[in-house]
Structures are given as structure tokens and as C-alpha cells.
């Protein structure tokens, strides 16, 4: 299912994350899609989505730190 992590391991070199457990992360899946681990902010954000955006009952709005996405950028494919 998970083929690789995008960006560095959030615990690399002894780094610590909030509460010392769990961490934001981005993974590429075997089918080419991506999975994100982050804070579920659906309850606070769903009613504030921009026009044309919506969150289905089976979906969640997830927050990841800016640093996580920026560090993953070199690993994100640039084409389909």
C-alpha cells in the first residue's frame, strides 16, 4: 500500500514532534495516490471552504505543517 515517504522522517536525527508521538507525514501509495497524516481540522474548517470546494462525509480536511510539505517538495513527482 505505502511505497515511500515524501520528505524526511519527522523523527530523523532524534527530532521530536508534539506530544512525542504521532507526527505529520506524507506517503506515496502503490496506486500513485498520496496519503497524509496530520491533524483533522474538518470540524473547524468544513464550513469555511472556498466556493466550489466541499468535503464529503467520507473525507477529512487535514492540516500539515508548512515545513512538512516544503521538505517533501523534492520527492513530489512533477508530472502525471
Nearest to 6 by CA among 37, 31, 33, 27: 27
* Positive or negative torsion for Cα 47, 55, 43, 38: negative
pLDDT of 76: 93
| pLDDT (mean) for 28-53 | 96
Q: How many CA atoms lie within 13 A of 72 on its CB side?
A: 21
Rounded CA separation 41/47 (Å): 11
Query: pLDDT tens digits for 13-23?
Result: 766 666 556 68
Number of other residues whose CB lies within 10 A of the CB of residue 48: 9
Neighbouring residues of 76: CB distance < 8 A, sequence distance ≥ 6 = 6
Query: pLDDT tens digits for 48-69?
Result: 999 999 999 999 999 999 999 9
pLDDT of 12: 76
Amino acid at each position: 500500500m505505502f511505497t515511500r515517504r515524501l520528505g524526511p522522517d519527522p523523527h530523523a536525527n532524534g527530532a521530536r514532534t508534539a506530544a512525542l508521538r504521532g507526527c505529520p507525514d506524507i506517503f506515496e501509495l502503490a496506486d500513485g495516490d498520496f496519503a497524509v497524516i496530520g491533524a483533522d481540522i474538518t470540524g473547524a474548517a468544513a464550513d469555511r471552504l472556498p466556493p466550489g470546494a466541499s468535503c464529503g462525509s467520507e473525507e477529512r480536511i487535514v492540516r500539515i505543517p508548512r515545513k512538512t510539505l516544503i521538505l517533501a517538495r523534492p520527492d513530489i513527482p512533477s508530472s502525471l
